[in-house]
Structure 1
Amino acid sequence: MFDAGTLILFASASLLLALAPGPDNIFVLTQSALKGKLVGLVVTLGLCTGLVVHTSAVALGVAAIFQASALAFNLLKFAGAAYLLYLAWGAFRAGTSSLESEASREIGLGRFYLRGIIMNVTNPKVSIFFLAFLPQFTRPEQGHLPLQMFILGGIFILATLLVFGSVSLLAGVLGQWLRRSERAQKLLTRTAGAIFAALALKLATASR
């Protein structure tokens, strides 16, 4: 269905895009530093699940709605911004003891998985990006277009897993070292809160 050159080009572009600083990898970075590498990896899985949703939306034509409808676009982006503000509020309220207990417990990982899904799905710009990016590598003469979209989306998700997983592991090690200091813990939570608030502002002011 795809020639080797197209797949290599798409995979390379996907890796570079995953490496580029953006809301999702910054989110993984902060969560891993605050809660540990396991939580970062779970958040990564949640974000990649969100990418499955966006890939499906593009393949089925749903993403075109967000490109065409200002109301749908604004409703979703404001929902995402509100969720990020909620995370910022939680980060500013977090104490050092809650940081330590959450980092050491494996229960509640589903909450962080869901957090990753919500973070990704409520960003309509991801769907619009996929709508613009994926079709560039498809060819009608090569067969079923939706299937081509799903294959390309799967490659993009694998590249994201590789990059974000590496970010989780590195940030988790750094966070483990920083959490030994109460002052560093407070700095971590305040920094994460500020980042979440900045991401919320960026999303709320985004245009199609």
Structure 2
Amino acid sequence: MTLFLAFLGVSFIVIATPGPDTAITIRNSLLGGRAAGLMTALGIACGQAIWALATSAGVVTLLTASEPVFMAVKYAGAAYLVFLGIQALREALWPGASEHGDAVPQAHTRLSAFSAFRQGIISDLGNPKMAVFFASLLPQFVPASGATFSALLFLGIVFSVLTFVWLAFYATLIAKAGDFLRRPKVRRAIEGVTGMLLIGLGVRIAAEHR
């Protein structure tokens, strides 16, 4: 029980630290409302669950041992974050023709639930640092005599659920702020900041050594 409580504490600190997952969730909540934000959070959590399964099955060990494969996943993930960042900057600099003045748009259906989910899961699976993170974190909180597939998978699923709950909170918060955050000037400012953040994170992931 002590190890599990320690795991929950470490997990909360890691999850609450802003990063690509938070940035994508906030942006998609602005574009598609609470539903898109929740689907983004679900996609991210599913991506983490897949990494947890791969860690438990030993696949992550093979990934990290293969330099070419690890680098390919890393650069693909970094490129995807940069791509999303460029999209956000484009929206900030050249908003849609329908957005003029400070009027609040009546609809925000530009991002479908499927697209939001896809962005969430791809961005997470494209970050090999998650593989390294799970491989180094999970075994520390499993008793030496109990480092089994099921024990590691359980901790990984718990981490994924906690991530979903935290990001769902962000999505709900953005949705409650609603009309104010979707005012063109405010949304463009958030898009600009989010775009620069995503590009910066993508560049950092690409430049980082293991």
Given the two structures, how large is their TM-score scaled by the length of structure 1? 0.86
Number of residue pairs aligned between Structure 1 and Structure 2: 202
1:121 aligns with 2:111: no
Matches within 5 A, 1:80-99: 80-94=77-91, 95-96=95-96, 97=98
Shift in alpha-carbon separation, 1:34–1:198, aligned structure 2, 3 A: farther
Shift in alpha-carbon separation, 1:205–1:196, aligned structure 2, 3 A: same
Aligned equivalents of 1:38, 1:108: Cα separation in 2: 9
- Unaligned runs of 5+ residues in structure 2 are none
Matches within 5 A, 1:54-203: 54-94=51-91, 95-96=95-96, 97=98, 100=105, 103-104=108-109, 108-142=112-146, 145-174=148-177, 176-180=179-183, 182-203=184-205
Aligned equivalents of 1:102, 1:133: Cα separation in 2: 42
- Unaligned runs of 5+ residues in structure 1 are none
Aligned equivalents of 1:101, 1:54: Cα separation in 2: 39
Bigger mean CA offset, 74-83 vs 18-27: 18-27
Aligned equivalents of 2:136, 2:203: Cα separation in 1: 24
Shift of 1:140: 4.4
Aligned equivalents of 1:38, 1:69: Cα separation in 2: 38
Shift in alpha-carbon separation, 1:73–1:29, aligned structure 2, 3 A: same
CA RMSD after TM alignment: 2.3
Identity of aligned pairs, percent? Answer: 28
1:15 aligned partner: 12
Aligned equivalents of 1:34, 1:188: Cα separation in 2: 11
